[in-house]
Structure 1
Amino acid sequence: MEWFKLAGFVICLLFLSESLTLPTNPQDADHLKTTQTFIQDNTEYITIVAFAQYVQEATFEEVEMFAKEMMALKDKCVADMALPECSGLPNDILQKSICAVEGLPQKYNFSHCCAKSDLERRGCFYLNKKADVGFLPPLPMADAEKKCQEYKQKKDLFLKKYLYEVARRNPFVFVTTLLSVATRFEDVAKTCCEEEDKASCFQTKASPVIKYLKENSAFEKTLCGASMRFGPRIITLINAAIIGQKFPKIEFKTLTSTVKHISSTDGGCCEGDAVGCIHTRSMAVNHICTNQDSISTKVKECCDKPILERGDCIVNLGRDEKPSDLSPREAKFTDSKDVCQHRDADQENFMIEFLYEYSRRHQDLSTPEILRIGEVYENLLDDCCKKENPSDCYSHAEEKFNETTEKSLKMVQHSCEQAQKLGKDGFKHECLIRFTRMAPQLSTEELTSLSQDTVKAFSVCCAQEEQFSCLDNSVDLVLGELCGVNQKRSINPAVENCCQSSFAFRRHCFYDLKSDEIYLPQSASQGLFTFHPDLCQATNEERQRRQERFLVDLVKLKPQHADVKLLSLFADFTHLVEQCCQAEGPEACFNEEGPKLEAKAQ
């Protein structure tokens, strides 16, 4: 954590009591003090993250200038805490200060947010974030030697720029994740800049950092999107299922308090409340460590680590084994005569307990499948509890649970069989066509990214023993990317229906979804069949990316063509590139063959 040692400012701590419950025991007080110190030492970086996520188009110079202005505001507030600009919650102060930068709201089109206040303004800034960052320039790619020169000469500036570029391209990723990514990248730079082959070192050691960012980004965006569409209750149910599976020996009372702590972090983190996110997540980890005896013996190894490493450690812990005396099923949810009375007495905790009991008994299932079972059970009780003899009705619940899981299992098995049958390239092409047919409104880059993530999930999961849970969990994260986080994303009614109707069953919905019936393709090819000799100089990886983009754009242009026709044209395109790149005059070859391919596509 070497680069997180700067002298920060304390403005974000001045009004902490407005948003935090004051600690009641010495351990909590020590933890709060450590968290405050961390925020104090890193507020400049936290400010960069928040600003870059809220105003993604802003230049680094504008972000840096804003950070300096916030430092000046800190000095004023330390001198006189009674000043009006010093009162309020940290995120409100930050947003108010962003709005006060002369000309900025007009320049980047968020004046409408600045016209609002408090809760409404926070919501507006959140909804103004854009997940599709195609409007941003390509990520700056300096060579390794130049990177190391910048790192060694001005390490602080180099890391600020890195954090800025990552944050603006990942507007929904939690600040805690981005700070961890920056710390990891600082370690990579420190190591690789001492190596002779710096480029190879960066390529090797940066890969796990990118993987960490992608995995956390996918999960956090899925959580935030679920919260946006279905409200905070779904986050509580998701966390209950995850914790029940991971720690099956946990006491229910501890589970409910742990779920409450974890779920409370997600709202602020999703909104972009950077200081609140750090505090609530830190307190959630502290709660787990304080109650580790009733959660899992494995937690101790994480709680013994430095405070800022505990969270990732707990997330990456393997699952505990089920208690040896745990019955195959919890009969009180299906056999008791008083199920409806218990449900009506405390409906929220009733469902949390059901998911807890079911998840700890079914560690082989995915999180979405546990939630599907919960939804089936909830709908069943809604129906049964209206009947004259409810117990006769819900006594068959286990059969319905098994039917639901059997259907999900068959979907996964069939999908893996199809992927194996098509081969890696064939399956990748099918994914590109399928995603584009479903959501042609998305950018070409986003559609290729969704396809790549799907192919990767299948290649990893279909070969595993836990094929079902692995693939169902992984594909659900891809669908989280597709559905998006906020209302800035509007694709088409069919996709929106799958995203909105049920969080648990959205994979089933997408499984049956075909083409967008109302999509009107572009009338002109817009240069799709115009090829340039630079294709021949491209690396194999870049050429492959261009080929994937060609297939996506072809489907957008000719959605009425059958898959066989599209794949035939795609094969002609790859052959054309190979042929022309081997010719004496590639440009003349492209100029001659491109129009022929276009005519064939008609």
Structure 2
Amino acid sequence: MKQLTLTGFVIFLFFLTESLTLPTKLQDVDDASITQKFIEENIGYITVIAFSQYVQEASFEEVDRLVKIMTKYKGQCSGEVTLPDCPRLTNDILLEKTCAVKGLPQKYNFSHCCSMVDLERERCFFHNKKSDVGFLPPLPTLDLEEKCQTYKNNRESFLNNCIYEVSRRNPFVFAPTLLTVATRFEEMAKTCCEEQDKANCFRTKAEPVIQYLKALSSYQKNVCGALVKFGPQVLKSINIAILSQKFPKIEFKELTSLLEDVSSKYEGCCEGDAVKCIRRRSKIMSHICSKQDSISSKIKDCCEEKIPKRGECIIYSNKDDRPKDLSLREAKFTENENVCEQRDANPDIFMAEFLFEYSRRHPELSTPELLRIARVYEDLLEECCSTENPPDCYGNAEYKFNETTQRSLKIVQRECEHVQNLGKDDLKYHYLIKFTKIAPQLSTEELTFLGKEMVTALTTCCTLSEEFACVDNLVDLVIGELCGINENRSINPAVDHCCKTDFAFRRPCFEGLEADKTYVPPSTSQGLFTFHADWCQAHKEELQRKKDRFLVNLVKLKPELGGEALQSLPTDFSNVVEKCCKAEGPEACFSEEGPKLAAKSQAA
């Protein structure tokens, strides 16, 4: 259940999780000077995050050089705040110093960004980020004894290196999240380096940190993609839905006040401004805990915790109890004769209140489903308010809402049937084939990642009582990964249409997609059926990755192959590897069996 709580509340999680050493007394939370002190104390780590995310190809030595420059700048401003640069925004200074490093803009191809200033320059660097990190070298592997010695000898350098490697591979994750990951890395190193069985300790403690990072990364990319592609109104709707479900007794006026803080946070976080992101999140935490009596009865103990524990305590707290006087239906939106007049007076406020009232009454629904229902209601009013008798028309709104939910429920049920009917490997192959056929232009790494994430979502959710909301929320994050953040990301016409037309209805749109007819497969197999003896030394996980890649590349090569033929080929692949690794001469065996497998795929 804990894993579900983490993934199910990722929408809420991203702006509540706290990091490192922010102020620990409740009365100090809103003190800007304390937040500023935190930023100054951690300017090195913040620089590593921002620079590694903006210039992912940069070496650790280049990052370290910029850290020294920014630390020197911080030191100068601490001593003399009247210097010309000191009142300027930290991110402006960081980008300016980055552009000033001799030869760096040319080396990593961001000179065009350096010719811009202020917000334009920041957005240019943002659009330069690459979510597909296949171009980066594999993560360096160190002997654990050596790793622990490095930590003991130079803690700061060890942590900077960890933050550097994680940040460049997660360019859209918010800075406070990465700072939290850094503290967990340090806790891990501190504990495991004293253990005799270091490998098992690191493996055990790393897993929840990786899951935490993946959950936050998926949500943050999804929500920033919504902001970039669809604008602040969609972002506001997402936040209304999730906050109304979590805090059903909150007054609408209080919710709109909280939304102002939450929405303003994204400007910095989504564009990679680490300092602005930290400041605004601190303000949100202050707001929630200072108004806890009117927000939720479940967070009192959480708000008395010290800051590093407080955010996660709130996340893991239960949804507040629904007020006893809250009816199952809000009649003012479907049975009131003046609905059209009320809508026309202020359409944005009217629709926000509808979403608030519907969401807090339906904790069993997913966030995307609540957004779909709001869109159905908005479209229904558009139609009804132009008729002679609007109340007769929108009187059947509840029927429309139930119809929409039933359609979404059928999609989830079909997916959960796949979980019941297929083994875990076949389930993964099903989605690898599906994603590759609809989006063959994506890299092999991206497609294998999407397939694995889909399987994780379904196997996590399909046995739970809250199956529908869980599946719909998590699969929406997988679609968000596919669609990406950048506005100009283009895959193929059908996928682009689903990604960019309507945020709420992306999922039903993808459900109807078939193989991309515009795709032209490669003319040669590019070594797909060439195997080598060193595969016999590969670990089980590595062989599984090779099998997944083989299937994706085979679908790219032969997109016309049917699902049945494709499903059998990974087994054939495994059989070839197993047979040849047992043979006296594996290389000779592979040379013979590879062409046979190629011929079988051709015949299929």
TM-score (structure 2 length as normaliser): 0.93
Q: CA deviation at 1:235?
A: 1.0
Tell me what 1:296 maps to. 296
Q: What per-residue deviation string (whole Å, max 9, x for no partner) do you get for residues 155-212 of structure 1?
A: 1110110001101110100001000011111111111011000001000011100010
Give the aligned residue type for 2:327: S
Tell me what 1:414 maps to. 414
Q: What per-residue deviation string (whole Å, max 9, x for no partner) do you get for residues 361-393 of structure 1?
A: 100111111111011111111222222222221
- Note if 1:548 corresponds to 2:555: no
SS in 2 for 1:529: coil
- Note if 1:229 corresponds to 2:229: yes
Give the aligned residue type for 1:148: C
Tell me what 2:31 maps to. 31
Q: CA deviation at 1:512?
A: 1.0
- 8 A Cα contact 1:237 1:355, kept in partner: yes
Give the aligned residue type for 1:570: P
Q: CA 1:254–1:86 in structure 2 vs 1: closer, same or farther (change >3 Å)?
A: same
- 8 A Cα contact 1:432 1:447, kept in partner: yes
Give the aligned residue type for 1:50: A
SS in 2 for 1:417: helix
Following the alignment from structure 2 to structure 1, what is the Cα–Cα distance between the partners of residues 598 and 317? 54
- 8 A Cα contact 2:247 2:319, kept in partner: yes
Q: CA deviation at 1:312?
A: 2.9
Q: CA deviation at 1:59?
A: 0.7
Q: CA deviation at 1:274?
A: 0.5
- 8 A Cα contact 1:129 1:171, kept in partner: yes
Tell me what 2:157 maps to. 157
- 8 A Cα contact 1:372 1:505, kept in partner: yes
SS in 2 for 1:545: helix
Tell me what 2:511 maps to. 511
Tell me what 2:351 maps to. 351
Following the alignment from structure 1 to structure 2, what is the Cα–Cα distance between the partners of residues 78 and 182? 25
SS in 2 for 1:468: helix
SS in 2 for 1:594: helix
- 8 A Cα contact 2:43 2:70, kept in partner: no
- 8 A Cα contact 2:48 2:67, kept in partner: yes
Tell me what 2:202 maps to. 202
Following the alignment from structure 1 to structure 2, what is the Cα–Cα distance between the partners of residues 201 and 157? 22
SS in 2 for 1:142: coil
Following the alignment from structure 2 to structure 1, what is the Cα–Cα distance between the partners of residues 81 and 340? 55
Following the alignment from structure 2 to structure 1, what is the Cα–Cα distance between the partners of residues 310 and 167? 23
Q: What per-residue deviation string (whole Å, max 9, x for no partner) do you get for residues 449-505 of structure 1?
A: 111111111111111111101100110011111111113632111111111111111
Spell out the pairing of 1:486-565 with structure 2 (5 A cutoff). 486-487=486-487, 489-565=489-565
Give the aligned residue type for 1:98: T
Q: CA deviation at 1:124?
A: 0.8
SS in 1 for 2:31: helix
Following the alignment from structure 1 to structure 2, what is the Cα–Cα distance between the partners of residues 489 and 139? 27
Tell me what 1:167 maps to. 167
- 8 A Cα contact 1:91 1:273, kept in partner: yes
Give the aligned residue type for 2:207: S
Q: CA deviation at 1:83?
A: 4.2
Tell me what 1:428 maps to. 428
Following the alignment from structure 2 to structure 1, what is the Cα–Cα distance between the partners of residues 365 and 20? 40
Following the alignment from structure 1 to structure 2, what is the Cα–Cα distance between the partners of residues 78 and 41? 11
Q: CA deviation at 1:5?
A: 7.5
Greater RCO (Cα-Cα under 8 Å, separation 6 or more): 2
Q: CA deviation at 1:82?
A: 4.7
- 8 A Cα contact 2:30 2:286, kept in partner: no
Q: CA deviation at 1:310?
A: 2.7
Tell me what 1:9 maps to. none
Give the aligned residue type for 2:230: F
Following the alignment from structure 1 to structure 2, what is the Cα–Cα distance between the partners of residues 380 and 437? 35
Give the aligned residue type for 1:305: E
Following the alignment from structure 2 to structure 1, what is the Cα–Cα distance between the partners of residues 309 and 40? 18
- Note if 1:394 corresponds to 2:394: yes
SS in 2 for 1:328: coil
- 8 A Cα contact 1:528 1:550, kept in partner: yes
- 8 A Cα contact 1:355 1:370, kept in partner: yes
SS in 2 for 1:184: helix
Tell me what 1:272 maps to. 272
Tell me what 2:56 maps to. 56
Following the alignment from structure 1 to structure 2, what is the Cα–Cα distance between the partners of residues 292 and 582? 65
Following the alignment from structure 2 to structure 1, what is the Cα–Cα distance between the partners of residues 387 and 298? 46
Following the alignment from structure 1 to structure 2, what is the Cα–Cα distance between the partners of residues 34 and 340? 49
Tell me what 1:104 maps to. 104
Spell out the pairing of 1:11-26 with structure 2 (5 A cutoff). none
Tell me what 2:3 maps to. none
Q: CA deviation at 1:421?
A: 1.1
Q: CA deviation at 1:599?
A: 2.4
Tell me what 1:94 maps to. 94
Following the alignment from structure 2 to structure 1, what is the Cα–Cα distance between the partners of residues 234 and 143? 45
Moved more, 253-262 or 212-221: 253-262
Q: CA deviation at 1:342?
A: 1.4
Q: CA 1:5–1:389 in structure 2 vs 1: closer, same or farther (change >3 Å)?
A: closer
Following the alignment from structure 1 to structure 2, what is the Cα–Cα distance between the partners of residues 82 and 296? 44
Give the aligned residue type for 2:124: C
Q: What per-residue deviation string (whole Å, max 9, x for no partner) do you get for residues 519-560 of structure 1?
A: 111111111100011211111111111111100110011111
- 8 A Cα contact 2:126 2:271, kept in partner: yes
Following the alignment from structure 1 to structure 2, what is the Cα–Cα distance between the partners of residues 34 and 121? 29
TM-score (structure 1 length as normaliser): 0.94
Q: What per-residue deviation string (whole Å, max 9, x for no partner) do you get for residues 406-444 of structure 1?
A: 111111112111231122222111111001111111111
For structure 1, the 5+ residue unaligned runs are: 7-25
Tell me what 1:45 maps to. 45
Tell me what 2:182 maps to. 182
Following the alignment from structure 2 to structure 1, what is the Cα–Cα distance between the partners of residues 388 and 143? 74
SS in 2 for 1:172: coil
Q: CA 1:270–1:583 in structure 2 vs 1: closer, same or farther (change >3 Å)?
A: same
Tell me what 1:249 maps to. 249
- 8 A Cα contact 1:172 1:270, kept in partner: yes
- 8 A Cα contact 2:30 2:283, kept in partner: no
Moved more, 70-79 or 243-252: 70-79
Tell me what 1:14 maps to. none
Q: CA 1:57–1:190 in structure 2 vs 1: closer, same or farther (change >3 Å)?
A: same
SS in 2 for 1:234: helix
Tell me what 1:371 maps to. 371
Tell me what 1:579 maps to. 579
- 8 A Cα contact 1:4 1:41, kept in partner: no
Tell me what 2:217 maps to. 217
Following the alignment from structure 2 to structure 1, what is the Cα–Cα distance between the partners of residues 316 and 112? 41
SS in 2 for 1:442: coil
Q: CA deviation at 1:81?
A: 4.2
Q: CA deviation at 1:570?
A: 2.8
- 8 A Cα contact 2:365 2:469, kept in partner: yes
Following the alignment from structure 1 to structure 2, what is the Cα–Cα distance between the partners of residues 218 and 125? 21
Following the alignment from structure 1 to structure 2, what is the Cα–Cα distance between the partners of residues 253 and 355? 14
- 8 A Cα contact 2:376 2:400, kept in partner: yes
Following the alignment from structure 1 to structure 2, what is the Cα–Cα distance between the partners of residues 334 and 5? 49
For structure 2, the 5+ residue unaligned runs are: 1-18
- Note if 1:312 corresponds to 2:301: no
Spell out the pairing of 1:55-134 with structure 2 (5 A cutoff). 55-78=55-78, 80-134=80-134
Give the aligned residue type for 1:143: D
Q: CA RMSD in A?
A: 1.7
Q: What per-residue deviation string (whole Å, max 9, x for no partner) do you get for residues 4-58 of structure 1?
A: 679xxxxxxxxxxxxxxxxxxx957853233222112111111111111111111
Following the alignment from structure 1 to structure 2, what is the Cα–Cα distance between the partners of residues 260 and 317? 23
- Note if 1:144 corresponds to 2:144: yes
Q: CA 1:413–1:256 in structure 2 vs 1: closer, same or farther (change >3 Å)?
A: same
- 8 A Cα contact 1:368 1:472, kept in partner: yes
Give the aligned residue type for 1:316: Y
Moved more, 302-311 or 446-455: 302-311
Give the aligned residue type for 1:217: S
